[in-house]
Structure 1
């Protein structure tokens, strides 16, 4: 599975609870240092700029950084393989 990912994707890990500010595709992401309750309240009324509403989330983008879709929650290898192969044609055909 990791060979398929490394050959067909550019994997990037973003720690939403980290302290570093990250700029991506015109959006600034930063940890607001909220308490757990504040995070839950914030997620209850709005989602992050690309529709991420929970942890963990795998976000798919095409080669031009156009957003495709989020996959929210924990998934086993077979489930992730399905999504990786589903989105692969969308990524290479854009």
Structure 2
């Protein structure tokens, strides 16, 4: 969430989508799993970006996600730019748009 807030002026260059692993089969189940995380780690605030369920695991596999959390960068055209950590995102956002 800090990254999202820190780079709010660059929101035209990225979007954050959170994928939950296949253990949560419904949004109700996901809400229950997130309650302690929201309370203990996020200071009672909900995430400002969508959390997606991938019940089959197909999307996670296609994106090459092997562990959580994982960061990938998708450009405004919807193309996968790069995968890595938050430091990688910082470096990518320092580059001129479209590079």
Normalising to structure 2: TM-score of the pair?
Answer: 0.47
Report which structure shows greater RCO (CA 8 Å, sep ≥6). Answer: 2
Normalising to structure 1: TM-score of the pair?
Answer: 0.49
